[in-house]
Amino acid sequence: MLAINQPKIYKTGAALVVKALKDSSVTNIFGYPGASVLALYNELADGREIVHCLCRHEQACVHAAEGYAITSGKSGIVLVTSGPGATNTVTGIANAYADSTPLVIIAGAANNSNGKVFQSVDFMSMVQPIVKKVYTPELSDNIYGIIKEAVSFSTEGKKGPVLVYLQRSVLERQFEFQEQNESNLSAEISPDIDFMELASMINTALNPVFIIGGGCRDAFYELSDFLVKTNLPAVTTLMGVGNVSAQVSSNYGMIGVNGSESANSLLSNSDLIVALGVAFSDRTICKSGMFAGGTPVININTLPYTFDNVNIVKEVNCDCVFAIKKLTEAGVKERKNFASDNVSLNTFSNLSGMETSAVLKLINNYTKTLNPIIITDVGQHQMLAAKSFEFVTPKRFLTSGGMGTMGFGLPASCGVHFAMPDDYIINITGDGSFQMNIQELATVKEYKIPVKIFVMNNGYLGMIRQMQEKFFNGKYYQSKMCNPDFMKIAEGYGIKGYRVTNISELNSLMPELFASSEPAVVDCITNGYENV
């Protein structure tokens, strides 16, 4: 029988990129156009099946994609142009890499040429150390397969950002369409781990403690159930906040430099630590004598790591959900005598005035039945927020952990809205951090994002002022700020602005704020000398 010759199908690179994105179930892109990627924009405009959110700065595109990725569980897609468009994303990419957030950064590149080309810069070398992988489609004839692989690779194993570095000529070139060219990433193999031995170590320890890290983002229910059943005490890192329910009575809250006394001391007195998805950053371990004391650690993480000053006695490389399931099956026993003195996660004393902690406590008390998603910025307000809010469902607390990137909060809040359009979204920011990506108020307005932005306006780069107080004899050099009128700024963007100078004003404002689906900026004039 004669083989029937199928006619070859040719499409432009731009058409194939968009088709591959659609075939990878991509529904949202966060981007900012430029000449190098206009062919792609043209293609997106024709289909309109993928929603493009135009942020007002490329760094913000990345943070928005991070917010989207964390809450949707999908990869966040970023589209930017060559030169400054690409370089503006670097901080965002570093942030996503540090916090293992899956992203695909599609960045335009000037065409290779011997002469000086407008907007040519070696972006690939700049970001090589902060991405999981760089794809260069001009070296391949299978652009469709590359894009599909990039999307799935970003979410596999240890998640993180990947770069697709797209020369302008690639978008215009005709390619033969090869749908069959799927990525051939290896299937996940069930790791060979002796969970019976681990369970026995936990059962025979006198004071075992679990540390919950950012790697437990997808393990909320399994982890909460496990802790309720076993009554084993747990503490969280900053990135672990919100990865276990506040209703679990053995959840002692956050450890580390800015953690709570009870959580830190629980850890210091433990004789076995089970670390689940923990990065062991210096901020987590430096205040904790237990690591220097050599407390044995069972380290459960997707990839093996070596950490100085951490006595890892068992390295277990697997997914956290898998580990919890297996530990349960292996018979980790219930503890009778822990957590009888359940700690409330938000106990602050002296909360009558406009301390940031008082403001956050009020916001938590008022909104907890609404089950909002809280997105913070970086500074004192971030640490206080981590200790103030009570989360009872997964992925309700987003913050910048590994990098501590001021300016993360507002754009990340925008991205969250595209993933969770029906949820309440609250951005807790500082007067310093807010000004790092304040232009995103335009994105909020344009896409009618109902985020409530609470600015903890303490007149200082508070975390820096606190360090100067503690370590530099209170010489507050360059940490005091002259701020703009945030109400007027909000109004300039067409967003309702409020100012509160005492707690009862804030209390009276809450019903009005949350009855409305409009965005709002609430300028909270807070005590400038509170410490974390």
Binding positions for ligand TPP, rule: CB under 6 A: 377-381, 404-407, 430-433, 456, 458, 460-464
Other Cβ atoms less than 10 A from the Cβ of 128: the count is: 12
Please state the closest distance from residue 431 (CB atom) to Mg ion, in A. 4
- How far apart are the C-alpha atoms of 367 and 363, rounded to whole Å? 6
**Beta carbon nearer to ligand TPP, 423 or 469:** 469
Phi, psi of 358 (to 5 degrees): -70, -40
Query: Closest CB to ligand TPP among 240 and 432?
Result: 432
Choose the contact partner of 270 out of ligand TPP, Mg ion, none; CB within 5 to 8 A by kind: none
The entry of ligand TPP, Mg ion, none that residue 378 binds, CB within 5 to 8 Å by partner kind: ligand TPP
Distance CA 502, CA 125 (A): 50
SS3 of 232-260 = CCEEECCCCCCCCCCCCCCEEEECCCCCC
Q: Is the dihedral of CA 504, 372, 158, 127 positive or negative?
A: negative
Q: Which is nearer to ligand TPP, 146 or 412 (CB)?
A: 412
Shortest distance, position 220 Cβ to ligand TPP, whole Å: 27
161 touches, from ligand TPP, Mg ion, none (C-beta below 5 to 8 Å by class): none
Residue 413 carries which side chain, given as an amino acid letter? S
Q: Which of 173, 191, 126 is nearest to 322 (CA)?
A: 191
What are the φ and ψ backbone dihedral angles of 451, each rounded to 5 degrees?
-75, 140
What residue type is 510 in one-letter code? Answer: M
Name the minimum Å distance from CB 130 to Mg ion.
Answer: 28
- Establish if 462 lies at the interface with Mg ion (CB under 5 A): yes
From ligand TPP, Mg ion, none, interface partner of 433 (C-beta below 5 to 8 A by class): ligand TPP
Query: What is the smallest separation between the CB atom of 388 and Mg ion, expressed in angstroms?
Result: 16
CB of 485 to Mg ion, least distance (A): 16
Torsions phi, psi for 302 (to 5 deg):
-65, -35
Out of 245, 458, 479, 526, name the contact with Mg ion by CB under 5 A: 458
What is the Cα–Cα distance from 70 to 221, expressed in whole angstroms?
16
C-beta of 36 vs 400, nearer to ligand TPP: 400
The entry of ligand TPP, Mg ion, none near residue 80 (CB within 5 to 8 angstroms by kind) is: none
Binding partner of residue 401 among ligand TPP, Mg ion, none, CB cut-off 5 to 8 Å per kind: none
**In the complex, least distance from residue 436 CB atom to Mg ion, rounded to whole angstroms:** 12
Select 426 or 464, whichever has its Cβ closest to ligand TPP: 464
Tokens 């503006």 belong to 88
- How many other C-beta atoms can be found within 10 angstroms of the C-beta atom of residue 495? 20
> Exposure of 6 by Cβ count < 10 A (0-12 exposed, 13-18 middle, 19+ buried)?
exposed
Integer Cα distance of 126 and 135 in angstroms: 14
245 versus 435: smaller Cβ distance to ligand TPP: 435
Closest separation between CB of residue 355 and Mg ion, Å? 13
Choose which of 394, 430, 450, 497 interacts with Mg ion (CB under 5 A).
430
Distance between CA atoms of 198 and 318, rounded to whole angstroms? 14
Query: What is the 8-class DSSP label of residue 393?
Result: S
Cβ atoms within 10 A of the Cβ of 29, count?
Answer: 26
Based on CB atoms, which residue is closest to Mg ion, 196 or 467? 467
Q: Which does 26 bind (CB under 5 to 8 A by kind): Mg ion, ligand TPP, none?
A: none
Is the Cβ of residue 244 or residue 363 nearer to ligand TPP in the bound state?
Answer: 363
Structure tokens at 125: 């070398």
Q: Which of 94, 81, 260 is nearest to 171 (CA)?
A: 81
Q: How far is the CB of 62 from Mg ion (least distance, A)?
A: 23
Smallest gap from Cβ 376 to ligand TPP, in A, equals 9
Query: Which lies closer to ligand TPP via its Cβ, residue 34 or residue 432?
Result: 432
Out of 58, 99, 431, 440, point to the residue binding Mg ion (CB under 5 A).
431
Cα torsion angle, 27, 29, 34, 35, sign: negative
| Contact string 388-427 vs Mg ion (x = CB under 5 A) | ----------------------------------------
What residues make contact with Mg ion under the rule CB under 5 A?
Answer: 430-432, 458, 462
